[in-house]
Amino acid sequence: MDVNKMKNASFESVSLEEWKTKAEESLKGKPIEKLYKETYEGITLKPLYTKSDVKTEWAVNRDAVKRGWKVAQRLTVKNAEELPERLQTVLSRGQETVSFADPDGTINKDILHRIFRVAVTEGKPLFQLTSIASAGFSVLKAGFEEISGTYAADPLPALLHEQSSEIFQSWIENITYLKELAPGVRTVMVDISLLNEAGASAVQELAYAVSAGVSTIELLKENGWTAEEAAGKLVFNFAIGSTFFTEISKLRAFRTLWKNLAEAYGLSDTKAMISTETSEFTKSKLDPYVNMLRSGNETFAAVLGGSDYIHVSPFDQVYGDTSDFSERIARNTQLILSQESHLNKVGDPAGGSYYIESLTNSLAEEAWGKFQEIDRNGGLLKALNEGTLQSDIQRIFESRQQDTAVRKQSLIGTNVYANLQEPASVDAQKKGKVQLPGLNSVRLSTNFERLRERAGNLKQKPQAGLILLGEIKSHKARADFVTGFLAAGGISVLPSRECLSVSAAVEFVTESEADYYVICGRDEDYETMAKEILSSINNDEQIVDLAGRLNADSMNELRSAGLNGNIYLGQDMVQKLDTLLSRWEAGPNGK
């Protein structure tokens, strides 16, 4: 077909029912519902979306003409004295805000004064999330009227941790003074990233964001502010996780929710100021360079969702100390998206997708219902003090953790494709933010990091002998699976030659002198060879597992012959690997 014919070609329209019929043919008669997926938010994702899936009552304009975002990388240094000079350096390399790590507000006045002077001299806005106890709020009162941006604290953790009312009142007095002195500075943060770091769902994050916004406005109103003044000083800080489309939709949904709330308050400006940071929850200390890829995916979602400020976590941020290299790569991740991909020139790039619009609307609807439930039951502070919200989040976290343990959720380089040649340095600690009571900052990879650490602490590297039955095509799939499974716990493998007979398998066991083996082969080979192999080994110091699963009768028969257990798809990896490592730790290798 030539180009002109291609241009003029047309296609018959296909109905949804016709598509379903064809899809079910591909599924070999299984219903289309087999392709549906339930999310942690309780939303069912379908394989195909049409215009009818978009509910008009939630599909409002989401600031579609918005352009660009600010690169707001939080600079981390061991010695705070270095911050002013380091900030000037990174501002010359693409950084667009004066931003640095000080979550507990411990940097002293002299250094903060020098930092603020850098912001004024360089003509760059601040972007800082800190504590209500930070001296920075009083420093800003000392001649920085022209400064702009964000120097903000979240008052809710302080209230719930019952900090000194003197500290709280001092913060209120400072930000009240700054309201007139430095009108270009936003001073109040709603930090939703605290929930993300505890494993919350997107709906829980959104409901908290709206509830916390209301609580903060009411708190400031009690201290003489108007709702308009309070809302104008708010910044909402989200963490962006790995579920790409959900994270895009989360930010878009929040703009809709805040617009509804702002209209209820009668505010003239109904737009929300949103900052985002790539999630700590999704990062791993194992194969840490993969964190670069995770952050790239999350940054892309943050941009498409419409962030105003973005912090990309350097790949080694999980250790606490970052490097010039990791910070440069993190900063350049944003610069590529803006200056090479030109995403800063596209208004609402995700708009118009039936899937994203539908998911956005579903998240907004579910979160609004959750917000109303919190409000009906006495408000956010009551829910947090009673622990009901924390209990809900804990349930979601446990579901995520279990999905990771059985590989329903993949963590590349951690529970799948683990790299045993990469040192597993997991003992470093990172100083985090002040958490909400009853919530802990966690990461999905933690259980696997602990397993690898335990394996590294053994006197000799743990190793499993693989008894490979039959020719390579008969055992390769299961041998590869077992190799990857054990690697996630820091256990290497020693494969045998092709064992075409029981004697060959027994010879391998005798020569290798390992104390743990896994038999890998086809089910039919297990039926004919496994029992005899087990009987021939007959050594109490050696244990043998089977790759895969057989029926109950066959497994019981093999256990009677000395089989320890098995390794199979869908198994709780953490539990199995813990059992194996515990055996080595209790023996000579662990003493």
- Cβ 307 vs Cβ 276: under 8 Å: yes
How much is the pLDDT for 56? 66
398 domain-assigned:
no
110-124, 335-349, 567-581: range with lowest mean pLDDT: 335-349
Q: DSSP character for 260?
A: H
Percent of the chain exceeding pLDDT 70 equals 95
In the prediction, which pLDDT does 162 show? 61
Average pLDDT over residues 25-35: 87
Q: What is the mean pLDDT of residues 532-548?
A: 89
Picking from 313, 336, 351, the residue at the C-terminal end of a domain is: 351
Does 225 share its domain with 160? yes
Domain count, the chain: 3
Any idea what the CATH number is for the domain that residue 476 is in? 3.40.50.280
Segment 503-507 long-range contacts (CB within 8 Å, at least 24 positions apart): 505/467, 505/469, 505/529, 505/533, 505/536, 506/533, 506/536, 506/537
Asked if residue 203 and residue 80 are part of one domain, the reply reads yes
Mean per-residue pLDDT, 319-323: 86
Give me the residue label for tokens 């995520």: 400
Q: How far apart are CA 591 and CA 585, in angstroms?
A: 7
The verdict on 13 and 134 lying in the same domain is: no
Q: Name residue, tokens 């603020």.
A: 116
Domain membership of residue 392 (yes or no) is no
Task: State residue 24's pLDDT score.
Answer: 86
Tokens 């390992």 map to which residue?
Answer: 514
pLDDT of residue 590: 78
Q: 29 with 98, same domain?
A: no
Note the pLDDT of residue 589: 81
* Three-state secondary structure string covering 297-334: HHHHHHHHHCCCEEECCCCCHHHCCCCHHHHHHHHHHH
Residue 168 lies in a domain: yes
For residue 114, what are the domain limits?
70-351
Write out pLDDT tens, residues 370-410: 999 999 999 999 999 999 999 999 999 999 999 999 999 99
- Same domain? For 12 and 106 the reply is no
Over residues 66-115, the pLDDT tens digits come to: 568 999 999 988 899 999 999 999 999 999 999 998 988 999 999 999 99
Answer yes or no: do 29 and 97 share one domain. no
* pLDDT confidence of residue 68: 85
- The answer to whether the beta carbons of residues 109 and 133 sit under 8 Å apart is no
- 13 lies in the same domain as 75: no
Q: Is 281 helix (H, G, I), strand (E, B) or coil?
A: coil
Same domain, 7 and 108: no
Residue 340: CB partners within 8 Å, gap ≥ 6? none
Residue 167: both structure tokens together: 């500290």
Domain end, chosen from 351, 385, 411, is at 351
Residue 64 belongs to some domain of the structure: no
63 part of a folded domain? no
Residue 61 domain flag = no
The CA distances from residue 53 to 34, 247, 486, in Å, are 19, 19, 44
What is the pLDDT at residue 345? 86
d(CA 441, CA 421): 29
Packed helices 354-376 and 244-265: angle between N→C axes, nearest 10 degrees: 50
In-domain check, residue 438: no
pLDDT tens for each residue of 107-122: 999 999 999 999 999 9
Shared domain check, 23 and 142: no
Say what the pLDDT of residue 372 is.
96
CA 136, CA 139: separation in Å to the nearest integer?
5
Task: Indicate the pairing of strand 44-45 with strand 309-311.
Answer: unpaired
Q: Tokens 């039951």 identify what position?
A: 377
User: What are the phi and psi torsion angles at 400 (to 5°)?
Assistant: -60, -45
**Three-state SS string across 90-101, please?**
HHCCCCCCECEC
CB contact at 8 A, 479 and 547: yes
138 and 27 within one domain: no
Q: What is the pLDDT of residue 431?
A: 58
Lowest mean pLDDT among 59-73, 308-322, 495-509: 59-73
Question: Would strands 70-71 and 565-567 be described as parallel, antiparallel, or unpaired?
Answer: unpaired
Q: Say which CATH number the domain at 269 has.
A: 3.20.20.240
Contact 348, 66 (CB under 8 A): yes
Q: Are residues 105 and 11 in the same domain?
A: no
Q: What angle do CA 420, 425, 429 make, to 5 degrees?
A: 150
Tokens of 368: 């609004």
Same domain, 229 and 96: yes
Q: Reply yes or no on whether the pLDDT at 171 is more than 60.
A: yes
Calpha distance 506→389 (Å, rounded) = 57
Q: Is residue 313 part of a domain?
A: yes
Residue that finishes a domain, picked among 351, 375, 404: 351
pTM over 0.95: no
